[in-house]
């Protein structure tokens, strides 16, 4: 990992300009009135997926293919069919569950007696609970609160899931040893679908150079920022001050995730998903790639090929799907 860091960058001012334009100046000022945990809650209570890489259907299919070998097979279904199909009366805990899509997916399998999701963003939990009730999924229970402080019964879960949430915790090794591992039954599984790249999203110089080369190759029609006529011209490393102001938990100890897991759990399987280029590239312009027409598909394939070349050359992967046993 590169040790290059940016405390403030040109990209921070560009991002600030568009955030204020879209959400208003009051949103900016509100961040500075909040304590660290409140900033995190504020971020996720108002989280939107308007234009980022996860809104693009073909990107999600690419994730499926990286995780399961099949673009039409999600990691949830793969996990069930490969590791849990012969088990019954299962209990799962999903940490940082958001609006609960994954829990509802798992609840379609009768293998589960209980699926619990916890998140500190109460508005997301309200939505999750409502969606589960509307689907009459009685095996799901959603909890509002901080995973670190919640009193869970030891050795009560067969599966603990972190879907893009583990990188929001600091002191990963201690967390796994003193909080996560004790909650799993003997032989229980830790499952992650997770960002494991540079702390605080401090992209490496090589990564930024490659991502900007790919961005430059795209036609301007695919680079218009969300709700704007401005074209995205450059990718910048986010400044540390901005990271702390928006969400102090973002990628706070992400580089420690894999070494810590390998030290405390037995690896069942681990798949590299990449994200090294697409994560940076599609920020603010992902909405331009939602069409399934021939031209858009061709450009997406070009981007995916470029990222694959980068991954093969560097041997890195900023995202991992992994299954680990206690």
Q: What are the pLDDT digits (tens) for 180-219?
A: 999 999 999 999 999 999 999 999 999 999 999 999 999 9
Confidence of residue 1 (pLDDT cuts 50, 70, 90): very low
Residue 305 pLDDT grade (very low, low, confident, very high; cuts 50, 70, 90): very high
Cβ neighbours, 10 Å, residue 234: 12
Sign of CA dihedral 237, 243, 249, 253: positive
Task: Map residue 212 onto helix, strand or coil.
Answer: helix
Q: Is residue 243 pLDDT above 90, yes or no?
A: no
CA distance 247 to 42: 8
Q: Give the per-residue pLDDT at 245.
A: 80
**pLDDT-based confidence at 241, cuts 50/70/90?**
confident
Confidence grade of residue 244 (pLDDT, cut at 50, 70, 90): confident
User: Could you tell me the pLDDT band of residue 144, with boundaries at 50, 70 and 90?
Assistant: very high
Task: Decide if 246 contacts 44 (C-beta within 8 A).
Answer: no
102 and 79 in contact (C-beta within 8 Å)?
no
pLDDT for 288 equals 97
42 has a pLDDT exceeding 80: no
Alpha-carbon distance values, 132 to 112, 139, 145, 264 (Å): 15, 9, 18, 33
Alpha helices in 49-194 (DSSP H): 57-68, 75-79, 101-106, 122-134, 172-175
Pairing of strands 112-119, 157-163: unpaired
pLDDT of residue 39: 43
* Predicted local distance difference test score (pLDDT) of residue 34: 45
- The mean pLDDT of the chain is 90
**Domain spans of the chain?**
10-325
Q: Of 166, 158, 195, which is closest to residue 275 (Cα–Cα)?
A: 195
Amino acid 106: pLDDT: 98
d(CA 250, CA 260): 18
Residue of higher predicted confidence among 158 and 29: 158
**Could you give phi then psi for residue 111, rounded to 5 degrees?**
-65, -20
The pLDDT of residue 23: 55
Residues near 37 by beta carbon (within 8 Å), at least 6 away in sequence: 120, 146
pLDDT of 258 strictly over 60: yes
Strand partners for 271: 321
User: Per-residue pLDDT for 268 more than 90?
Assistant: yes
pTM of this structure: 0.90
CATH class belonging to 10-325: alpha beta
Buried/exposed code over 50-69 (b: 16+ C-beta within 10 A; e: otherwise)? ebbbebbebbebbbbbbbbe
């Amino acid at each position: 990992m590169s040790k290059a860091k940016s405390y403030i960058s040109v990209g921070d001012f560009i991002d600030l300009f568009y955030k204020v334009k879209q959400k208003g100046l009051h949103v900016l000022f509100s961040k500075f009135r909040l304590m660290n945990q409140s900033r995190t809650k504020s971020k996720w209570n108002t989280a939107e997926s308007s234009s980022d890489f996860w809104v693009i259907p073909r990107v999600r299919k690419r994730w499926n293919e990286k995780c399961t070998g099949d673009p039409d097979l999600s990691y949830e279904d793969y996990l069930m069919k490969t590791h849990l199909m012969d088990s019954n009366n299962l209990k799962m805990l999903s940490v940082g569950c958001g609006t609960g899509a994954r829990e509802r997916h798992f609840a379609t399998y009768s293998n589960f007696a209980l699926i619990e999701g916890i998140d500190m963003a109460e508005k997301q939990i309200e939505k999750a609970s409502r969606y589960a009730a509307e689907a009459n999924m009685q095996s799901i229970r959603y909890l509002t609160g901080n995973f670190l402080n919640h009193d869970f019964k030891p050795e009560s879960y067969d599966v603990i899931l972190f879907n893009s949430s583990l990188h929001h915790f600091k002191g990963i090794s201690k967390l796994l040893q003193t909080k996560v591992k004790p909650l799993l039954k003997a032989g229980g599984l830790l499952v992650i679908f997770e960002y494991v790249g540079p702390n605080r999203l401090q992209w490496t110089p090589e990564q930024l150079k490659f991502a900007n080369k790919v961005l430059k190759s795209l036609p301007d029609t695919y680079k218009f920022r969300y709700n704007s006529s401005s074209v995205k011209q450059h990718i910048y490393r986010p400044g540390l001050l901005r990271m702390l102001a928006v969400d102090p938990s973002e990628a706070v100890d992400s580089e420690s995730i894999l070494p810590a897991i390998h030290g405390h759990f037995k690896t069942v399987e681990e798949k590299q998903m990449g994200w090294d280029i697409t994560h940076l590239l599609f920020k603010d312009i992902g909405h331009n790639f939602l069409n399934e027409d021939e031209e858009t598909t061709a450009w997406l394939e070009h981007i995916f090929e470029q990222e694959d070349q980068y991954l093969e050359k560097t041997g890195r992967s900023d995202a991992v799907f992994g299954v680990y046993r206690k």
